[in-house]
Amino acid sequence: MTEAMLAVNGLSSGYGQATVVRNLDLTIARGEIVAVVGKNGMGKSTLLKSIMGYLPKFSGSVSMAQNAISESRPHQIARLGVAYVPQEKALFQDLTVEENIRLALRGSAGWNEAKATIGRCFPFLLQRLQQKAGTLSGGEQKMLLMARGLSVGAKVLLIDEITEGMQPSIISNLVNIIKTERDRSGLGVLLVEQNIPFTRAVSDRYVLLDKGEISGSGNTRDADTHEKITAHISL
Ligand SMILES: Nc1ncnc2c1ncn2[C@@H]1O[C@H](COP(=O)(O)OP(=O)(O)OP(=O)(O)O)[C@@H](O)[C@H]1O
């Protein structure tokens, strides 16, 4: 797990004149699952949107598999193997499950490969391929967002608060899915979360974000780190 896939160096970004993420350094190695945790409004989603090219990078640099992506557009970043699972319901509600996934593929991974991923990770979706996304429940739509992210054959997956509003049984299933896909393909994962039990179960490493800056980090399995993070989040 030493090969750095995604590297963020001194990144600052935000909205208009407002700097939200400040001078942030972060790397995701091949096969590594890193969780960025922090209270509401600390800049977690802003960080992911900025890496993905949806927000301008004010300063610093980001690279993916040694390619500079600081100035790249989202589709170029996606082409290099970064996929994004947004917090918002970013599905085409009037399109079917299959159409939503096919649109994300855009010639990268083939449909057969995508179908195999869906069957492995979210088999219930195979029975719903022709169902309109908007008719799925909130939790099912989150799973479709994950299925779409996993189906494109990404090398690094950015996941924004996937557990929000999900049932506990689905959350524990999700831990297995993410870890299994990591073990299978060396997928690197950067997830932002407020759900500490999920984060502890799924990730290798924590990074604590406080007002856009990293204020702590550590190994997920380290009890002291876990206690500090839990205390910070519940303050
Ligand atoms: N579109 C926007 N325009 C201006 N400011 C924004 C916008 N979106 C977010 N912000 C501000 O940026 C800051 C960080 O927001 P962000 O959504 O990144 O936080 P977060 O840590 O992901 O929190 P949450 O868990 O609530 O999503 C907040 O102060 C927020 O008000």
Token pair recorded at residue 27: 């790397």
Does ligand 1 lie within 6 Å of residue 38's CB atom?
yes
Nearest to 186 by CA among 29, 22, 13, 48: 29
Residue 235 has pLDDT above 80, yes or no: no
Does ligand 1 lie within 6 Å of residue 46's CB atom?
yes
Enclosing H/E stretch for 19: strand 18-29
Residue with the smallest CA separation from ligand 1 atom 3 is: 15
pLDDT of the residue at 166:
86
pLDDT, tens digit, for every residue of 1-45? Answer: 466 899 999 999 999 989 999 999 999 999 999 999 998 899 999
Cβ-count burial of 119 within 10 angstroms (0-12 exposed, 13-18 middle, 19+ buried)? exposed
Residue with the smallest CA separation from ligand 1 atom 30 is: 41
pLDDT, tens digit, for every residue of 162-208? Answer: 998 888 888 989 999 999 999 999 999 999 998 888 999 999 999 99
Q: How confident is the model at residue 109 (pLDDT cuts 50, 70, 90)?
A: low
Does ligand 1 lie within 6 Å of residue 137's CB atom?
no
CA–CA distance, 219 with 127 (Å, rounded to integer): 39
Query: Is the pTM above the cut of 0.90?
Result: yes
Does ligand 1 lie within 6 Å of residue 158's CB atom?
no
pLDDT of the residue at 108:
57
Domains of the chain (ranges, CATH numbers): 1-81+157-175+188-234 (3.40.50.300), 90-153 (no CATH)
82 CA → ligand 1 middle, Å: 22
pLDDT, tens digit, for every residue of 128-150? Answer: 999 999 999 988 999 999 999 99
114 CA → ligand 1 middle, Å: 32
CA–CA distance, 46 with 16 (Å, rounded to integer): 13
Query: Which ipTM was obtained for this model?
Result: 0.95
